[in-house]
Amino acid sequence: MFSLKQCRARPTIVFRHPPWPPSPTTAPCLDPRQPIEEEKTPYYHPSQFYPARLGQILNDRYQLATKLGYGSSSTVWLARDLHCWRWSRERYVAIKINTSNHHTHNDAAENELAILQHISRMNRSHEGWNFVRRLLDSFTIEGVSGQHLCLVLEPLREPLWLYRRRFIGGVVPSDVLKITVQMILHGLDYLHSDCQIIHTDLKPDNVLVKFEDPTILERDVRDEYQHPLPQKLVTGRTIYLSRNNYGPFLVPTGVVQIADSGLSVLGTTSRNGCIQAEIYRTPEVVLDAGYTYSADIWSFGVMLWDLLEGKALFSPVDTRKDGDYDDHIHLAQMTALMGPPPEYLLARGRRTSKFFYPNGQLKSLELVPKDFSFENAITMLSSEEKSMFIGFVKKNGEVGPGKPKFSKGVIKGSLAVHGF
């Protein structure tokens, strides 16, 4: 409960949801010698992670209730918002606690904060505003090795790679995919047109599905409180297991949001360099020819195969090198699918000479697969629906001079013409 001192300082606090007391159940202990969760990430250093504890109240407002996930530079927690009125339903938020400011990923955290602040204050009337994850609050907390930036966000259910596994065969049915495609494209149009932001890392991991029923969160929070998952006790810190698998959906189609803006950049200046996960990488990035908003559209198009086919469109790996990514093989597969790159793209590429002869011919033509086409890359659709999908992908896959992004008219027109 609230203390007398707190009530005197803030009289309205008695009308807020009170903090829960510590769980009456002792959690089972895990073997301290076995690494779990964030301990398995590259370059893990325990002192850089904030020692968050379930039941802890952050920023005098948010009480940590369950752990949602982790990464190499953050942990994510579900928290009760204690600023809600007692007579209202519990409100839950997701809090991303970044590693301390001595960590090499700190610049990415600060960039994500700036991008989220920019996204959150733009045009709320845009159709895509609801399909982009936005910032609710932010604050810093002091840790043993510096400050930790905390981002407060809406809790989301799961990424698209997990969502597709909810369906038969591990693929999203075409009728559901059509709706999902519209939401993602509207979200991208909002980022590109109104926010002038290039996401740069669009993939199934970074598009998340919203909760279809808020009571799901309440159920998991109560379960963690009454039946806590096993924990690992280490010096100065408890490492918790994540609760992030909420089971089958109660409705067939989930609302999605584009998330994880830590690598996003403003599209108002010229951009060069390497972006995107390898299999979603656009040809201009492979050639280092500079990139713009269309890089996101390319990633989006490639991502559709993950959802519709349950496998990647490209497999640019060299079996002779332990299956490592090979950009020469990647370009060869792109050439088989779409034909040779246009001259303007080759002329701009700083790495063009590594892959192409001066006449525009790809080096090592034997790498080009003979039977790789849109037609045989799609097995889950047939007849007219298959033709419409191919037409849709080709239309939205166009990039070139004077086409830095896709206007709302192009998106709507393409969706209408191709039945999406």
Domain limits, the chain: 1-156+212-246
- Residues 351-368 pLDDT 10s: 999 999 999 999 989 999
Position 209 scores a pLDDT of 96
Tens-digit pLDDT profile for residues 280-302: 999 999 999 999 999 999 999 99
Amino acid at 248: P
pLDDT recorded at residue 416:
35
Cβ–Cβ < 8 Å for 352, 287: yes
Catalytic residue, from 194, 201, 260, 296: name it.
201
**pLDDT at site 251:** 81
Confidence check: pLDDT of 15 > 90: no
CA–CA dist 263, 274 (Å, integer): 11
75 forms bridges with which residues in the sheet? 70, 97
pLDDT class for 307, splitting at 50, 70, 90?
very high
Q: pLDDT grade, residue 14 (50/70/90)? A: low
Q: For residues 36-61, give the mean pLDDT.
A: 94
Only one residue has tokens 């209730």, namely: 65
In this prediction, residue 3 carries a pLDDT of: 57
The candidate with the shortest Cα–Cα distance to 262, out of 83, 58, 107, 398, is 107
> Is the C-alpha dihedral spanning 148, 152, 155, 161 positive or negative?
negative
Percent of the chain with pLDDT over 90: 69
User: 394 among the known binding-site residues?
Assistant: no
- pLDDT band (50, 70, 90) for residue 345: very high
Q: How high is the pLDDT of residue 207?
A: 97
Q: Considering only residues 4 and 54, tell me which one the structure prediction assigns the higher pLDDT.
A: 54
- Point out the least confidently predicted range of 226-235, 306-315, 408-417: 408-417
Residues 6 or more apart whose CB falls under 8 angstroms from that of 191 comprise 119, 128, 132, 197, 198, 199, 258, 264, 296
Please report the pLDDT score of residue 415 as a whole number.
35
Average pLDDT, the chain: 87
pLDDT over 60 (residue 407): no
What SS3 state is found at 160?
A: helix
Question: Is the pLDDT score of 129 beyond 70?
Answer: yes
pLDDT tens figures, 163-219: 999 999 999 999 999 999 999 999 999 999 999 999 999 999 999 999 999 899 999
Q: Please indicate whether residue 205 is annotated as part of the active site.
A: no
| Res. 377: pLDDT tops 80 | yes
pLDDT at 1: 52
Q: What is the pLDDT of residue 414?
A: 36
pLDDT at 417: 32
pLDDT at 214: 86
Distances (CA, A) of 283 to 62, 185, 316, 331: 44, 21, 13, 7
Query: What CATH number does domain 1-156+212-246 carry, 3.10.580.10, 3.40.50.300, 3.30.200.20, 3.40.50.1370?
Result: 3.30.200.20
Segment 134-160 mean pLDDT = 94
Residue 402 clears pLDDT 80, i.e. is over it? no
The per-residue pLDDT for 404 is: 36
